[in-house]
């Protein structure tokens, strides 16, 4: 069967790097590749890391933490740092966008619900395919998850979500987007994301908002205290 030239096959390659944990290095890693069937080119589109960290502080049941917010608030940075802290798994939701979504955003076209449903479904299917048994480290997902119905969709498929909402002044976020290089999301789409954003509340489950005017270190420290304490 001939595949459309915009059809991509995503392959997860996972390998172990033993004997590094004593030095605080990555102990295992996964990397997403996208294979363009038309050009026969393969390119790395995302990394997944598992880190050494506070193994004694891993909960018995594998928990899922959603680090959410509009583009440019630092979701990936915070999620990755928390994965390091708790010997967890960091998942970059952007890696699961189909090619047409990437093309639309790159062209300055905001995504509609239909385009986001397929993306979130692929993301959730991947998370569910992981070994989420007891004794495993928590999962930290960096994902915009702007609307309540998107988060409900995720929690229906993945179980309870602990929501860490990164938010801040529009001008600060815009400045970050304008300084960011090599990302498909243009600054021009910020206002559409802000328009779609539905602030999470306690009705959805455990959630907290952090102002990105604070340093990443402070946000990570405060989130760590919350995870070790009230959310334990």
Q: In this predicted structure, what is the pLDDT of residue 32?
A: 38
Residues 6+ away with beta carbon under 8 Å from 150: 116, 120
Task: Please indicate, yes or no, if residue 217 is contained in any of the structural domains.
Answer: yes
φ, ψ dihedrals at 56, nearest 5°: -70, -10
Domain count, the chain: 1
Q: How confident is the model over 175-189, as pLDDT tens digits?
A: 999 998 878 889 999
Task: Please indicate, yes or no, if residue 182 is contained in any of the structural domains.
Answer: yes
pLDDT in tens, the chain (232 residues): 333 333 333 333 333 333 333 333 333 344 333 333 333 333 333 344 344 444 333 333 589 999 999 999 999 999 999 999 999 999 999 999 999 999 999 999 999 999 999 999 999 999 999 865 555 789 999 999 999 999 999 999 999 999 999 999 999 999 999 998 878 889 999 999 999 999 999 999 999 999 999 999 999 999 999 999 988 7
Task: Please indicate, yes or no, if residue 85 is contained in any of the structural domains.
Answer: yes
Neighbours of 122 (CB within 10 A): 15
Q: In this predicted structure, what is the pLDDT of residue 5?
A: 34
Q: In this predicted structure, what is the pLDDT of residue 206?
A: 96
Instruction: State the SS3 of the chain.
Output: CCCCCCCEEEEEEEEECCCCHHHCCCCEEEEEEEEECCCCEEEEEEEEEECCCCHHHCCCCCCEEEEECCCCCCHHHHHHHHHHHCCCEEEEHHHHCCHHHHHHHHCCCCCCHHHHHHHHHHHHHHHHHCCCCCCCCCEEEECCCCCHHHHHHHHHHHCCEEEEEEECCHHHHHHHHHHCCCCCCCHHHHHHHHHHCCCCCHHHCCEEEEECCCCHHHHHHHHHHHHHCCCC
pTM: 0.74
Neighbours of 158 (CB within 10 A): 17
Task: Please indicate, yes or no, if residue 118 is contained in any of the structural domains.
Answer: yes
Task: Please indicate, yes or no, if residue 69 is contained in any of the structural domains.
Answer: yes
Task: Please indicate, yes or no, if residue 36 is contained in any of the structural domains.
Answer: no
Task: Please indicate, yes or no, if residue 173 is contained in any of the structural domains.
Answer: yes
Task: Please indicate, yes or no, if residue 42 is contained in any of the structural domains.
Answer: no
CATH of the domain at 68: 3.40.50.300
Which two structure tokens, joined as six digits, stand for 189?
A: 């789409």
Q: In this predicted structure, what is the pLDDT of residue 68?
A: 98
Q: In this predicted structure, what is the pLDDT of residue 9?
A: 33
The domain of 80 spans: 59-228
Q: In this predicted structure, what is the pLDDT of residue 180?
A: 85
């Amino acid at each position: 069967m001939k595949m459309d030239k915009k059809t991509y096959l995503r392959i997860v390659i996972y390998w172990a790097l033993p004997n590094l944990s004593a030095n605080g290095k990555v102990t295992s890693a996964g990397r997403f590749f996208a294979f363009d069937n038309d050009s026969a080119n393969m390119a790395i589109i995302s990394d997944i890391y598992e880190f050494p960290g506070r193994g004694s502080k891993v909960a018995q049941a594998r928990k899922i933490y959603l680090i959410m917010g509009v583009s440019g608030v630092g979701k990936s940075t915070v999620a990755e740092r928390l994965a390091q802290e708790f010997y967890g798994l960091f998942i970059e939701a952007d890696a699961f966008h189909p090619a047409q979504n990437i093309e639309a955003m790159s062209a300055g076209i905001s995504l509609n619900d239909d385009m986001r449903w397929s993306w979130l479904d692929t993301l959730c299917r991947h998370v569910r395919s992981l070994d989420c048994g007891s004794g495993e480290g928590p999962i930290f997902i960096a994902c915009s998850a702007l609307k309540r119905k998107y988060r409900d969709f995720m929690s229906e498929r993945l179980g309870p979500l602990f929501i860490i909402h990164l938010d801040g002044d529009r001008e600060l976020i815009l400045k970050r987007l304008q300084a960011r290089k090599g990302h498909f999301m243009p600054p021009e789409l910020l206002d559409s994301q802000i328009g779609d954003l539905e602030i999470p509340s306690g009705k959805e489950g455990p959630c907290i908002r952090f102002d990105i005017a604070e340093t990443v270190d402070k946000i990570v420290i405060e989130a760590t205290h919350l995870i070790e304490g009230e959310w334990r």
